[in-house]
Amino acid sequence: MDSTPDAPAAKDYIKLDQFLKWQGLAESGGSAKALVTEGKIKVNGEVETRRGRKLRNGDTVQLEEQTLHVALEEKTRADKQSPLESVPHDDCSAQSPS
């Protein structure tokens, strides 16, 4: 069985604590919080103490000698549509009461 966590849903960002768990730098939310609040994490070369910091494509996250680059999947136009926008008009029909 593969123990690698699933990638987060495609968004424009991922929160720092989620990224740390996803990449295996933290085993849990509590350990991610501890790493961040203890000042052990750098984002783009600067110590980051906000575990909710939004990371975007191109950001770098560093823990000791390990550096990771944030590369999130881009949303497609279809991902941004509401469910109603993607339903063809032929499939939408109203019935009048009998």
Number of structural domains, the chain?
1
Q: Identify whether 47 is part of a domain.
A: yes
Determine the structural domain holding residue 46 and report its residue range. Answer: 14-72
Q: Identify whether 51 is part of a domain.
A: yes
Mean pLDDT of the chain: 78
Q: How far apart are CA 11 and CA 50, in angstroms?
A: 19
Better pLDDT: 71 or 6 = 71
Q: Give the contacts of 55 (CB within 8 A, at least 6 positions apart).
A: 13, 14, 15, 16, 19, 43, 61, 70
pLDDT of residue 73: 76
Q: Identify whether 5 is part of a domain.
A: no
What would the pLDDT profile of 51-66 be if each residue is shown by its tens digit? 999 999 999 999 999 9
CATH number of residue 45's parent domain: 3.10.290.10
